[in-house]
Amino acid sequence: MIKNITKGKVDTSRNIDSHNHVTGRSIYVDDLPELQGTLYLAVFGSPVAHGHLRSVDLSAAEKLPGVFRIFTAKDIPGANQIGGIIPDEPLLADKEVHFHEMPIALVAAESEAIAMEAAKLITAEIDPLPVIIDPREAFAKGHISGSPRTFQLGDSNKAFAECAHIFEGKADSGGQEHLYIETQGAYAIPMENGSLRIASSTQGPTAVQRTIAGVLGIPMHKIEVDVTRLGGGFGGKEDQASAWGAMVALVAHLTNKPAKFVLHRMDDMRMTGKRNPYSSDYKIGLDKDYKIIAYEATFYQNSGAAADLSPAILERTLFHLNNSYYIPNVLATAYSCRTNLPPNTAFRGFGGPQGMFVIESAIHQAANTLGIDPIVIQEANLLKDGDVFPYGQIAKEAEAISCWEESKERFDLKKIREEVANFNANNEALKKGLALMPICFGISFTNTMMNNARALVHVYSDGSIGVSTGAVEMGQGVNTKMLQVAAHYFAVAPERIKIESTNTTRVANTSPTAASSTADLNGKALAHACTQILDRLKEVAASSLDTSADKITLKNETVYVDDIASDLQWEQLILSAFQQRVNLSAKGHYSTPTIHFDKTTEKGHPFAYHVYGTAIFVSTVDCIRGTYTFDAVKIVHDFGASMNRMIDLGQTEGGLVQGIGWMTMEEVIYDETGRLRSDALSTYKIPDIYAVPKEIDVHFLKTDGSDMALFKSKAVGEPPLLYGVGAYFSVINAVRAFNPNWMPEFYDAPITPEKVLMGLYAI
């Protein structure tokens, strides 16, 4: 158990950045002081979604006063390649354009306004090619990235023959714009001997470093990437920050001048990829007791024009195809289908939500056709310890049933159900819908190799401490958690500790801040570094107090011998250690033990542990307008032994609302030419304060937590987004309360007010 230390100015029971955030003191890329001579960049993006690039005319743009130089693919000294998993994505289009707004030319000018003006003067000759935006069409034409993946458990074919009920259907979920408050951006400064220093708004400093090194054709050690914090990433900067980093680096490298590029909102929306839309087929089989005996699914992922992280996202869709249910016979295949959209990418949940939407759709269809409540089927199939996941991992410390039962009891589901029924019996123009959403999310990068981290700790001679890790702060509070770790091990006040920027020169070869695993991986690496220094300090204390090191403990900045306070205080201890030439720095390393996965058999034990929870949704639909609100969302969530309840609650509320947005109101629309139509906040609707549920009640499940989690405090970043799927079904259920004859033709998220209205009055 970790205690929050609150005695000084720094209060680690809440996010240590809060004060700076609300007073405008936090520093983002665009806030960095600019050096004289800085060049500002703008991109000329493809005016069509697919075609052969014949020629580019830069002449008019080059004549514009203030334009320094314009770059195209042929200026790239290294590889014109930014693909993270598969090398299939040029930085600047060369012979072909694959998506609307694909970067073709890069303008560097004296000011941002001039750069943007010049970009508008560039023209390109492009022979158009057919544009595909639908993943099923791409699949039919054979446009798939990587190899299809198939997860199999038991024998679904045989099992279907024994099922009492079988249902088949289709479920589609849409994209989602990340809408981080800070747009993508980077700033490069040339240093000695061809080195570069880059400030980047990235979740993956090492990925940016590696990409730049490849594009420039120089070794990684010449590239230093530094990240202070992000104004949000949500997965959108796990891979897709690399392009902008490579652009500023390219310009700085070729001109020997500082170069800066911070995207404007609409350009960011048009040029960057989003959550992968999916189109899926399912077949579900139940026995007479509503046990799910067999499940088959085919997932068509819309990857966009390049692989980006889509193959990894595809994998996680399969890992979460059964949500929190035990299904003994499974056969599921997933295809990453290449279309002419901007490459889609990581988004909170990373393919998991897309997979879980499909099983929830299957259960909803089965229940409604059988005339029972989906809750009956959900409850009959919850995972318990010893059950096997389709990928071979055995459920351990499973909290699916405890969260479900606790939510029913604590929030009095029976009463909620009666209230909804009463309300619906007595109201014509308003109808309420109830839905439960259990969740299960695997914690670890599914690529086992990525589950490692390092930390570097310096204790300075005055007793202050500097902590560097591979963790990137992006609003999720990981810096606060890192500070808690260091304060816990050294038993010092939080004011003594500074969490440094994330820097590739201090901590190398990092995995991105992603997969909700950042606190676990970096926190455990940090603990390792702290204990090394602590062990040395105990030797110093023991010799000065004439005792043995195993009798020494540190509490409240004081050395204790056999649990009795001595006169030796932290600052004196550090000074003595320093004077005795003891090493006051340490590097810690952690790699998750026990995990493994074999892609040839698609079996293994990929996750350190799973996070569980259950949400109860009640929505109200206005049956005249088709609009809806959420009355309440009541959640029992498995935080393990939360090390920071305030931050974890914030993550839960934020993830929940982001999930509700994805499932209900956020609609990414590309027209048939592949052009983004929802490219501004006037046409892309994200949840505002009115869309937030009127009541959000989050209960922390009482549990021991997992030893694999930092201080047994489970990862919290992504799992709560999964609750959003329940919002979709609660709205569908309210519409059905008004129009019982209606069932969606297929499950098609988001359930926008337009779709609600169609459902309400469908005959």
With respect to ligand MTE, which residue has the nearer C-beta, 176 or 664? 176
Residue from 84, 175, 190, 235 touching ligand MOS (CB under 6 A): that is 235
Residue closer to ligand MTE (CB basis): 90 or 204: 204
Q: Could you tell me which stretch among 258-266, 509-517, 565-573, 664-672 binds ligand MTE (CB under 6 A)?
A: 509-517
Closest CB 181 distance from ligand MTE, rounded Å: 9
CB atoms within 10 A of CB 713: 25
Q: How many degrees, rounded to 5, is the angle at CA 141 between CA 135 and CA 143?
A: 65
Tokens of 625: 């307008």
Give 121 or 472: the residue with its C-beta nearer to ligand MOS. Answer: 472
Residue 499 near residue 510, CB atoms below 8 Å: no
CA angle 26, 241, 309 (to 5 degrees): 130
Main-chain phi, psi angles of 309, to 5 degrees: -95, 5
Picked from ligand LUZ, ligand MOS, ligand MTE, none, the partner binding residue 232 (CB below 5 to 8 A depending on kind) is ligand MTE
For residue 478, the partner it binds in ligand MOS, ligand MTE, ligand LUZ, none, with Cβ less than 5 to 8 A by kind, is ligand MTE
Distance from the Cα of residue 205 to its chain's centroid:
16
Contacting ligand MTE within 711-740 (CB under 6 A) = 715, 717-718
CB of 149 vs ligand MOS, minimal distance in Å: 19
Residue 478 vs 749, nearer CB to ligand MTE: 478
Query: What tokens were used for 448?
Result: 């086992």
* Of the candidate residues 232, 258, 353, 750, the single one contacting ligand MTE (CB under 6 A): 232
Q: Which one among 58, 434, 465, 474 touches ligand MTE, defined by CB under 6 A? A: 474
Minimum CB distance to ligand LUZ, residue 309 (Å): 6
Q: Which stretch binds ligand MTE (CB under 6 A): 53-61, 253-261, 324-332, 468-476?
A: 468-476
Q: Measure the CA–CA gap between 710 and 508, rounded to whole angstroms.
A: 21
Task: Write out the H or E segment, with its range, that includes residue 748.
Answer: strand 747-748
Q: Could you tell me where the beta strands, DSSP code E, fall in 217-277?
A: 223-227, 259-262
Q: Cβ of residue 418: shortest distance to ligand MOS, in angstroms? A: 39
Instruction: Give the count of residues interacting with ligand MTE (CB under 6 A).
Output: 21
Token readout for 20 is 């700076």
Q: What is the DSSP letter of 521?
A: H
Between 352 and 759, CB nearer to ligand LUZ: 352
- Residue 41 or 608 having the CB closest to ligand MOS: 608
- What DSSP letter does each residue of 502-514 carry, written as one string? EETTTS-SPPPS-
- Closest CB 608 distance from ligand LUZ, rounded Å: 12
**Residues of the shown chain interacting with ligand LUZ in the complex, contacts defined by CB under 6 A:** 309, 312, 316, 346, 350, 445-447, 514-515
Please give the order of strands across the beta sheet that includes 465-469: 497-499, 465-469, 452-459, 585-591
Least separation in angstroms between CB 703 and ligand MTE: 19
Q: Residue 411's binding partner, choosing from ligand MOS, ligand LUZ, ligand MTE, none, with beta-carbon cut-off 5 to 8 A by kind?
A: none
CA 355 to chain CA centroid, nearest Å: 15
Shortest Cβ 309–ligand MTE spacing (Å): 12
DSSP label at residue 343: P
What x/- string results for residues 712 through 741 when contact with ligand MOS is judged by CB under 6 A? ------x-----------------------
Which residues ranging from 311 to 370 are in contact with ligand MOS (CB under 6 A)?
346-348, 350
Per-residue string for binding with ligand MTE, 323-352, x by CB under 6 A? Answer: -------------------------x----
Smallest distance from ligand LUZ to CB 441, Å: 9
Question: Which sign, positive or negative, has the C-alpha torsion 716, 722, 727, 730?
Answer: negative
The answer to whether residue 513 forms part of the interface with ligand MTE (CB under 6 A) is: yes
Residue among 188 and 611 whose Cβ is closer to ligand MOS = 611
Nearest to 479 by CA among 489, 470, 491: 470
Q: Which is nearer to ligand MOS, 347 or 630 (CB)?
A: 347
The rounded distance, in Å, linking the Cα atoms of 317 and 338 is 17
Q: Least Å distance between CB 463 and ligand MTE? A: 28
Among 56, 118, 492, 519, binds ligand MTE (CB under 6 A): 519
- Residue 201, interface with ligand MOS (CB under 6 A)? no
Q: Strand runs (DSSP E) across 596-693, as ranges?
A: 596-598, 603-605, 609-622, 628-637
Structural element, H or E, at residue 434: strand 430-443
DSSP H helical ranges for 105-241:
112-120, 135-140, 156-161, 205-216
- In a 3-state reduction of DSSP, which class is residue 181? coil
The end-to-end CA distance of the chain, in Å, is 58
Identify what 143 binds: ligand LUZ, ligand MTE, ligand MOS, none; CB under 5 to 8 Å per kind. none
Contact partner, 446, from ligand MOS, ligand LUZ, ligand MTE, none, Cβ < 5-8 Å per class: ligand LUZ
CB of 689 to ligand LUZ, least distance (A): 28
Minimum CB distance to ligand MTE, residue 236 (Å): 8
- Active-site residue, 224 included: no
Contact segment (CB under 6 A) with ligand MTE among 124-132, 471-479, 687-695, 743-751 equals 471-479
Between 204 and 463, CB nearer to ligand LUZ: 204
Helix 753-760 to helix 724-738 angle (10° resolution) is 30
In angstroms, rounded to a whole number, what is the distance separating the alpha carbons of residues 364 and 469? 44
Which residues from 658-717 bind ligand MTE, rule CB under 6 A?
715, 717
Catalytic residue (choose from 406, 718, 745, 754): 718
Q: Phi then psi for 31, rounded to 5 degrees?
A: -95, -10
Nearest to 711 by CA among 554, 587, 526: 526
Burial class (CB in 10 A: 0-12, 13-18, 19+), 68: buried
Determine which helix (DSSP H) or strand (DSSP E) holds 380, and give its type and residue range: helix 374-380
The entry of ligand MTE, ligand MOS, ligand LUZ, none that residue 337 binds, CB within 5 to 8 Å by partner kind: none
List the x/- string, 493-522, binding to ligand MOS by CB under 6 A. ---------------------xx-------
Using CB under 6 A as the binding rule, whether residue 235 contacts ligand MTE is answered as: yes
Position 605, amino acid? H
The residue from 358, 486, 514, 529 that contacts ligand MTE (CB under 6 A) is 514
DSSP output for 530-558: HHHHHHHHHHHHHHHHTS-GGGEEEETTE
Return the structure tokens found at 220.
């990684």
Minimum CB distance to ligand LUZ, residue 663 (Å): 19
Yes or no: say if 237 and 201 are a contact pair by the CB < 8 Å rule.
yes
- The answer to whether residues 136 and 300 touch, using CB atoms and an 8 Å cutoff, is yes
Rounded-to-integer distance, Cα 535 and Cα 510, Å = 26
Residue 238 makes contact with ligand MOS by CB under 6 A: yes
Question: Hey, how many other C-beta atoms are within 10 angstroms of the C-beta on 401?
Answer: 17
**H helices, E strands: number in the chain:** 19, 30
Q: Which residues are at the interface with ligand MTE (CB under 6 A)? A: 232-235, 348, 474-476, 478, 513-519, 651, 654, 715, 717-718
Q: Which residues are at the interface with ligand MOS (CB under 6 A)? A: 203, 233, 235, 238, 346-348, 350, 514-515, 718
**Catalytic residue numbers, as ranges:** 718
